[in-house]
Amino acid sequence: MSAPHLARLNDDQRRAVEFGITAPGDGPLLVIAGAGSGKTNTLAHRVAHLIVNGADPRRILLMTFSRRAAGEMARRVERIAANVLGDKAAAMTDALAWSGTFHGIGARLLRDYAPSIGLDPAFTIHDREDSADLMNLVRHDLALSAKSSRFPAKGTCLAIYSRIVNATMPIEEALRDVFPWCAMWKDELTALFAAYVETKQAQNVLDYDDLLLYWAALMGEAEIAADLAGRFDHVLVDEYQDTNRLQASILIALKPEGAGLTVVGDDAQAIYSFRAATVRNILDFPQSFTRPATLVTLERNYRSTAPILAASNAVIARASERFAKTLWTERQSGGRPRLVTVRDEAGQALYIVDAILEARERGVPLKEQSVLFRASHHSGPLEVELTRRNIPFVKFGGLKFLDAAHVKDVLALLRLAENPRDRVAGFRVLMLLPGIGPATAGRLLGAMASAADPLAEIAAFTPPARAAEDWPGFAALLGAMRTRAAGWPGELEGIRAWYQPYLEQVHEDAAVRMADLAQLEQIAAGYASRERFLTELTLDPPAAVSDESGVPYKDEDYLILSTIHSAKGQEWRQVFVLNVVDGCIPSDLGTGTSSEIEEERRLLYVAMTRAKDDLHLVVPQRFYVTQQGRGGDRHLYASRTRFIPEAITGLFETTTWPRMASAGASAATPPVAPVDLKARMRGMWR
Ligand code: ATP
Ligand code: MG
């Protein structure tokens, strides 16, 4: 029996793809295997195989790590299915409507089912920064920050809250295990979180965690749970090692028997435990469903050359805990990965730019190369050098386009129109108006919170004299947005006209900021409605781009800069990893617990296994650290990461850059006459 779309798979991959479709099998399926072994590829083949064999694509739920990954998966599925279905594959893949992140899918389901759990479907979604701001407002209302200057900061409060929700653990446990230095505030934090939850409900806003929490709540209502479970015949999850307890509980509720459920993952790549992800989900998987689970392992790596794989395996082999896995490759050619010592971060940038350009000369496009780093700000010196040398790049996982103040202002205005009770958005917008301070804003928002028609309160409000002139224009704008008078995305034009004068009053670079807003309008045009735009942008913001002039041209070749966390699942021909030094990877010098340190080891493993042909780990001898709240910035004399001990350096080609002349060589060259500095400088002042 020939199956042209499965021709490229190896036996283990094919077993996972055919399981329960064209081969026997009925329980849950777990594929666990190392980096580059084709897990994601297998998942794509399985979806294509389902479609080719008559499954309804609208009844397939596919969950990936990012929306971008979901898009890539859909393209792969289409290519694979086209082997059998030809032109019809595209339409079938378009019908794969339920693919995206857990949070994105949660948001969509909640819009449908909101009323049945007492939620208004017009809710707006807070990103982490908005959530921290709301936490701060509540903290302020309860006078907690006034109580003691040592009360945890808003970000810490949010982190504790988020941990409790995602790990479904009691507050005592979260404080004891993860935030011991906050344990003394248990009662205050309990009160704070209760008030935070109430406030969100009153304002009809959801934070990221709520998207999972309410989804889990939906699954707790027997009728809705049955409805939802019946909606999807097949549920597939990529990167399962980075899901948390709440996500696992949702899957179990969706597919209690486990039939039709496929998850793939690699415990050695678990790097999200700081967001309460847990490898226990993989360990517990076989016992979680009423039917027995089937385990498939994949051992052949198709991505990397043998020397890269050997070095990566050596780094992870020293991990204290992991499933034993074998990984081999047939790609025997290629040199050892480089371990390059440079003087400092400026030297690091120069080394990388040279190597990138050299590779491009050899025919490796920029798009096939990437630079990875532990934290977003580490790429600063490199970005400067790339800009100076006119090398276009796109940066993922860093400061987002949406974090710019002016972009946030416009989004807040849209959110306020969508949900006038959204207090964080309201504050942001009102404070833009000259003459309106926090007290006035608070008073108006308070009145709006209890009003039947909150926007009518704005129209009827008598502002302080200084704001009187601007007020009617503002009220009219919001009124028009509320009735959707200008339609979507037409209303953005009105917003721009209203906002421009404020921008020009406050900022010298107003023109640059207006260009950003024009770009925002372009992005907005790609969404069917204001609500879809706000939801998807908040959940999966676009990457920051190389310069203020905008995204690289459509067909332009550009380099990828990315945090390691955002590089998950991807691959490039040539990969550079920045700052492979103690204090960076692992990041916490000495203060980290052993399990935190182990997570850093996995992070390095993830970074190294992104490379297909060439891998460079760069070790600056001097490294600049920003120590938030610990006495400012300082230079650090760095040493190579502890994850590459002397015993395994033989797996690397160790070099120093720029190559220093060795003592022997300089003895052999004839002495050079010292330069006559005086003579040279005389010329300079003439
Ligand atoms: P990661 O753990 O990093 O997410 P993965 O296990 O998901 O990796 P994939 O990204 O699916 O691995 O595959 C890695 C590379 O190997 C891809 O370029 C893919 O096209 C290729 N590949 C996978 N399976 C095969 C195969 N049977 N034949 C040829 N190439 C393959
Ligand atoms: Mg993958």
* Sequential DSSP letters for 214-262: HHHHHHHSHHHHHHHHHH-SEEEESSGGG-BHHHHHHHHHH-TT-TTEE
Q: Per 3-state DSSP, what percentage of the chain is helix, strand, and coil (rounded to 5)?
A: 55, 15, 35
Ligand 1 atom closest to the CA of 43, numbered from 1: 11
Q: What is the per-residue pLDDT for 686?
A: 30
| Nearby residues of 472 by Cβ (< 8 Å), 6 or more positions away | none
Is the model's pLDDT at 675 over the cut of 60? no
Tell me phi and psi for residue 108, to 5 degrees: -70, -40
Contact (CB, 8 A) for 233 and 55: yes
Cα-to-centroid distance, 333 and ligand 1 (Å): 18
CA torsion 371-372-378-379 (nearest 10°) is 20
pLDDT at 78: 96
Kindly state the DSSP code that residue 543 receives in the 8-state scheme.
Answer: P
The per-residue pLDDT for range 481-521, each reduced to its tens digit, is 989 999 999 999 999 999 998 888 888 888 888 888 888 88
Q: Which tens digit of pLDDT belongs to each residue from 420-464?
A: 999 999 999 999 998 899 999 999 999 998 888 888 899 899 999
For 124, list phi and psi in degrees, rounded to 5.
Answer: -110, 160
Q: Is 76 in the pocket of ligand 1 (CB under 6 A)?
A: no
Residue 597 confidence (pLDDT) = 87
| Alpha carbon of 564 to ligand 1 centroid (Å) | 18
The residues placing their C-beta within 5 Å of ligand 2, an ion, are 39-40, 569
- Give the pLDDT confidence score for residue 434 in this predicted structure: 87
pLDDT of 450 reads: 85
Q: Which atom of ligand 1 is nearest to the CA of 13?
A: 27
CA of 210 to the centre of ligand 2 (A): 27
Please work out whether the CB of residue 28 comes within 6 Å of at least one atom of ligand 1. no
- Give the per-residue pLDDT at 684: 37
Does ligand 1 come within 6 angstroms of the Cβ of 312? Answer: no
Q: Indicate if ligand 1 lies below 6 Å from the C-beta of 241.
A: no
Q: What is the 3-state secondary structure (H, E, C) of 46-66?
A: HHHHHHHCCCCHHHEEEECCC
User: What does the pLDDT read at residue 515?
Assistant: 83
Determine whether the annotation assigns residue 38 to a binding site: yes
Q: Cβ(574)–Cβ(281) under 8 Å? A: no
* Pocket perturbation via mutation, ligand 1, pick of 41, 76, 239, 615 by most ligand atoms within 8 A of CB: 41
Residue 40 CB–ligand 1 contact under 6 Å: yes
Ligand 1 pocket test: which of 43, 47, 303, 312 has the largest number of ligand atoms within 8 Å of its C-beta? Answer: 303
Cα–ligand 1 centroid distance for 41 (angstroms): 5
pTM: 0.86
pLDDT in tens, 130-181: 999 999 999 988 888 777 778 898 999 999 999 999 888 899 999 998 899 9
| Residue 3 counted as an annotated binding residue | no
pLDDT tens per residue across span 537-592: 888 776 655 443 344 555 688 999 999 999 999 999 999 999 999 888 988 655 57
* Global ipTM: 0.99
Q: How sure is the predictor about 665, in pLDDT bands with cuts at 50, 70 and 90?
A: very low
DSSP, res 542? P
H-type alpha helices, 318-450? 345-361, 380-388, 405-418, 423-430, 438-450
Residue 50 confidence (pLDDT) above 90: yes
Is 35 known to sit in a ligand binding site?
yes
Is the minimum distance from the CB of 265 to ligand 1 under 6 angstroms? no
Q: What is the pLDDT of residues 365-413, one digit of tens each?
A: 999 999 999 988 888 889 889 988 989 988 886 556 677 889 899 999 9
Helix (H) or strand (E) run with residue 294 in it = strand 294-298
Question: Looking at ligand 1, which atom is closest to the CA of residue 610?
Answer: 3
Nearest atom of ligand 1 to the alpha carbon of 10: 27
Peptide bond into 292 cis (omega under 30): no
